[in-house]
Chain A
Amino acid sequence: MEAGTPDLVKLEDLRVPGQLSGRKHILAILVENKPGVLARVAGLFSRRGFNIDTLAVGPTDDPSVSRITLTLDGAVHPIDQVTKQLHKLVNVLKIRDMEPEETVAREMALFKVSAAVENRAEIIQFADIFRAKIVDVARRTMTIEVTGSADKIEAFERMIRPHGLVEMVRTGEIAIARGHE
């Protein structure tokens, strides 16, 4: 339907765009670096019943601005409604719904695994395959740092879990748009 068409708009041609995208979304939210801003964002999600999958907050190149990166499921939540509600917060400056094709997204995880001497070689091999780093070795455990997409971290977890996962910690994804040619 063109805006400038001379004929009348036929009502039967009008459609409402679909609300649910069905995929994971990464939202990059630039907010003012002020006290209580995270509480406003988090409170909005809880009272509107939006479920955050991961959340990462940190400074940006501008000290007055912080960046909140969060991921949520577009099969459950209408992303359009989420971003519009976020925009109503006065401290929210800009929201970007990152395009998956044009985004570099990374998450970091630390895995502490029980590592008896006879298993260490195998664990180190897994770490190599995943381009992970051994960052701590103790008598009974090894700690491995993995960086990558959420999928990669989950794959690594599946590999390492049979060895005895003592503890795991993940940061939540951060993302940046790819540079343009």
Chain B
Amino acid sequence: MESLKAEGVKNAFGIPGGANLPMYDAVVDADFRHVQTRHEQAAGHAAEGYARASGNVGVAFSTSGPGATNLITAIADAMLDSTPTVFITGQVKSELIGTDGFQEADILGATLPFVKHSFQVTDARQIPEYVHEAFHVASTGRPGPVLLDIPSDFFRADIEYEPRTEPVELPGYKPSTEGNIKQIRIAAKALANARRPIFYTGGGVINGNASEELRELAASDQFPVTSTLMGLGGFPASSDHFLGMLGMHGTYTANMAMDRADLIVAIGARFDDRITGKLDEFAPHAKIIHIDIDPAEISKNVGAHIPIVGDVKQVLPKLTREYRALQTDSGRMEAWWTQIRAWKQEHPLFYEPSTDGEIKPQSMVETLCKVTNGEAIVAADVGQHQMWAAQYYGFDRPRRWINSGGLGTMGFGLPAAIGAKVACPDELVTCISGDGSLIMNVQELATCVTEKVPVKIFLMNNGYMGMVRQWQQLFWDRRYSGVELGSSPDWVKLAEAFGATGLRVEDEADLEDTMRAAVETDGPVLVDVRVTQEENVYPMIAPGNAAREMVEAPGLVR
């Protein structure tokens, strides 16, 4: 506990059990806040939400066996989205390890593929050192989850405690952060020669706290910027230079700009399949500058012509300086911008507006943006609502948009919102969810109520697991299988049963007022928004297709 304090831990999420009882005894006197969730998976996602909203390491506790295995989804989620987190699991007594003791699970073995690093304590005296190293590894380089598995007898051991504050020396762990200056110079010169450049920015900009540095670089010239799902908010959505999100449900403009670009500057992004579509036909005309702190991302999926390994926060100012020193003429990009503006004009995000008072899911997100002045922290679950939130909310600042991008974990949203609210108690924290996702961790409404975490949940209720339904409609000949959710539960009653406020809105005319009421009501609120049932997310690049084969919303007037 002292070790955690020495790392500056102010909040942790978790559930006690047999193997971590001694630690929970210490929680009673600890001077940090412990939020008791109702399921360990939720504790893990809350730790992620906390980390993503604050930039600090999120911490979750569980007991051994099932407590620990319940954390696995959150650990894998944190791995794929590079979220700095430390998971501390209790383990059976050291003498019982390997005997299939009660509530024994080899959590270290089970999580090996999903952790940045992990430790199992074999001597109580290792605890201060391992805790210190765990926080260091989780938060530096490319951030990620670190697991610390502690047998219960070591929690109890009295050890001579000295807080570890000295810099961590791990001989096999030395992230390079500065970026090779020669490479940066070459990159600046290539950029100065590009006629159709584009910045493709990702979660690394958020994790690296480099949005200001990105704005500076983009402002050095007329550079268009697109962002991945994970990078939203890293560059202001309201900027003229922003082309919107790219990828499977990205804008026409962003995807076509990638397709036609002569130079792509990838900044803290990893060329995921949801971005590239068919790899062989990805960005056929482009040379690639790839800036990433993780050398293994460079040329993993798409070969980099100019690799730069480093922390974007350190590399971008150098690139800006080198580029400005070249004093190039931005006139070379005029034709490019004419093209981009034409795409924006002719191929905007589009949906058929409602005519009969039905609430369109897209308009639900737009209304939420309006009601919250675009300034709320939005935690999303996974599915159609997530894509519409990403498309229509318009994030202007980093750490406002919290979602499960890499693993795509349904059930992430509510606990992540709890974590974000604990991290930022003075901010408005909302959760946009779907009826398929929300129910996967709905027990956390109890946490919201008893721990007094007033998040506002906006449920996009269409009676389906909408994204899967959309795929079945488009690719499986509308043979719906396992996607209908019916009308259960009654969400308003469910919210009330938990002691939260439940509201329902079915008519577009009442949407804005109900949303305002939700925001202004004290305590946790769940708004059941009944939206169009069979609406599809567009544009869409079908899996395995190239960007230029993107399908736009039906009814878009050219």
Contacts and interface: CB of A to CB of B under 8 A. Distances in A.
Given A11-B194, A32-B171, A16 B296 contact: no
A81 interface: yes
Contacts of B171: 32, 93
Contacts of A14: 190, 287, 305-306
Given A15-B305, A93-B171, A9 B186 contact: yes
B94 to A, nearest CB: 13
B113 interface: yes
Interface in B193-224: 193-194
Interface string A11-40: 100111101000000000001100110011
* Residue of A1, A3, A31, A91 with highest tally of chain B CB at under 10 A: A3
B557 interface: no
* Residue of A9, A80, A84 with highest tally of chain B CB at under 10 A: A9
B192 A16 contact: no
Contacts of B170: 90
A85 interface: yes
B172 A1 contact: no
Nearest to B141: A88
A51 B189 CA distance: 40
Interface in B290-311: 294-296, 298-300, 303-306
A11 B172 contact: no
A14 to B, nearest CB: 4
B299 A16 contact: yes
B173 interface: yes
Say which size band chain B's interface belongs to.
Answer: 35 or more
Interface string B138-177: 0000000000000000000000000000000011110000
Contacts of B190: 8-9, 11, 14
Contacts of A87: 295-296
Given A8-B326, A11-B193, A84-B295, A90 B306 contact: no
Interface secondary structure of B, over-half rule: mixed
Contact of B113 (A4, A17, A32, A43): A43
A144 to B, nearest CB: 39
A90 B137 contact: yes
B372 to A, nearest CB: 39
Contacts of A89: 172
B435 interface: no
Nearest to A42: B112
A10 interface: yes
A19 B299 contact: yes
A5 B108 CA distance: 51
Closest A-B pairs by Cβ, 5 of them: A16-B303, A84-B296, A3-B182, A9-B189, A14-B305
Given A8-B328, A19-B303, 16 more contacts: A5-B189, A9-B193, A10-B193, A11-B190, A11-B194, A11-B263, A15-B305, A16-B304, A17-B303, A36-B108, A47-B113, A81-B296, A87-B296, A91-B172, A93-B171, A93-B172
30 contacts: A3-B186, A5-B189, A8-B190, A9-B186, A9-B189, A9-B190, A9-B193, A11-B190, A11-B194, A11-B287, A15-B305, A16-B288, A16-B305, A19-B299, A19-B303, A35-B122, A36-B108, A36-B109, A39-B109, A39-B112, A40-B112, A43-B112, A81-B300, A84-B295, A84-B296, A89-B172, A90-B172, A90-B173, A93-B171, A93-B172
